[in-house]
Amino acid sequence: MSRRLAVSLAFAAVIAGGVAAWFTLIDDSGDRVQIQPPDLPMSDWGAAAKAFPEPVRFTVSVSGDLLMHGPLLDRALANGAGNEYDFAPFFAAIEPYVGDADLALCHLETPIGPGPPASYPIFNTPAGLAASIRRSGWDGCSTASNHSLDQGLDGIRGTSAALDEHRIAHTGSFASAGARERPTIIRVRGVKLGYVSYTDATNGIPAPTGWALNEYAATDPRAGAAAILADARRARRQGAEAVIVNVHWGDEYSSQPNDSQRSVAERLTASPLVTAVVGQGPHVVQPIRRMNGKFVVFSEGNLVSNQGAGSGLPEATQDGLIALLDLRELDGRVRVRRVRYVPIWVRPGDYLVLPARAGDPDYAAELRASYARTVAVVGDSAKISPAGR
């Protein structure tokens, strides 16, 4: 039952009974809403019911690290027949969870700088990745990570230019001081959504300027949260009706958030400025939790990489998730109603990102194991559940 229909029926029930009193309805999202009949002649109540505002509902898809190791670069070049880097085939199987979302946000862990492509430990990603991001359905990317400074200011400026060329909104690293001061606000179904991105580490590489990268020290979560909230406040003042914060944080290969992550998340969710928090950085999934009534996706893990047991790393580095944040706006208030998530697994060889429930008979056991690992860590409840449950 839609909210408008429920309200209309409630008004009709009051009219029929000749009663003017407070009453409660439950709309189709499960929210309880207390309504007082308007101070109008009964003949005008029908018009008042029709004028009751409809909620706006939309889904934001957020996903983990785009981490282009050498073997992925080689594969992308082969996908482009040796003439260009084409990463889009990696993402063909997850298109329903990216292109079909009202807004899709990715995390670009490595810079797109000038010069030849390079892999771990100092990354430089081909500009073809930006074209593939756009073609695969993402609308925006966070760019603050521990590898953001791998190519210095040239890399940050190259990243910004490549994303701008393909009309991909971005935040976290900045080509100029002026860009750092302009909040990133994305309109989705008429709602203005602020987007803030920070990292808690840079692998010891110092920032070339004070404005090039949003960063804070993991050892000082109070200062980190204060900086993030200052940016969220700036976005609100520029008209954002909601703010999603992306943080690249945590201990590598740990399936549980550390004290610094929890402290930052506690401060962010306690503020009315922040609508939800999402993150990545540990290269494995971490839980999705509600803190202060808001959702925190502590880590989505890797979206695509060459990590995994075959590289001598934990099996869980081959897992990841795409979080689907279901939001609702009503009367200027926006909140996340629930979070669904899609466990994913990276197929070796061609680096196809597979939903872990998708059929691939050659890797059926691996997919089942990946799905079980992810759900065991992330959780399964009424408000936080695997998609399609």
167-221: per-residue pLDDT in tens?
Answer: 999 999 999 999 999 999 999 999 999 999 999 999 999 999 999 999 999 999 9
pTM, to two decimals: 0.88
Residue 29 has pLDDT above 80, yes or no: no
CATH of the domain spanning 57-386, picked from 3.30.70.1380, 3.60.21.10, 3.30.1490.110, 2.10.10.90: 3.60.21.10
What pLDDT sits at residue 23? 39
In this structure, the number of other CB atoms found within 10 A of the CB of residue 28 comes to 12
Question: 45, 38 in Cβ contact below 8 A?
Answer: yes
Token couple for 200 = 């808690």
Q: How confident is the model at residue 358 (pLDDT cuts 50, 70, 90)?
A: confident
Q: Where are the beta strands (DSSP E) in 347-383?
A: 353-355
Q: Which part of the chain is CATH 3.60.21.10? A: 57-386
- Measured CA to CA, the distance from residue 11 to residue 25 in angstroms comes to 11
Whole-number average pLDDT of the chain: 90
List alpha helices for the chain, DSSP H.
Answer: 3-17, 45-50, 70-79, 95-98, 128-136, 152-165, 177-181, 221-237, 259-269, 364-378
Task: Identify the residue whose tokens are 């939001």.
Answer: 327
pLDDT tens digit string along 239-274?
999 999 999 999 999 999 999 999 999 999 999 999
State the distance between the two ends of the chain, measured CA to CA, in whole angstroms.
Answer: 21
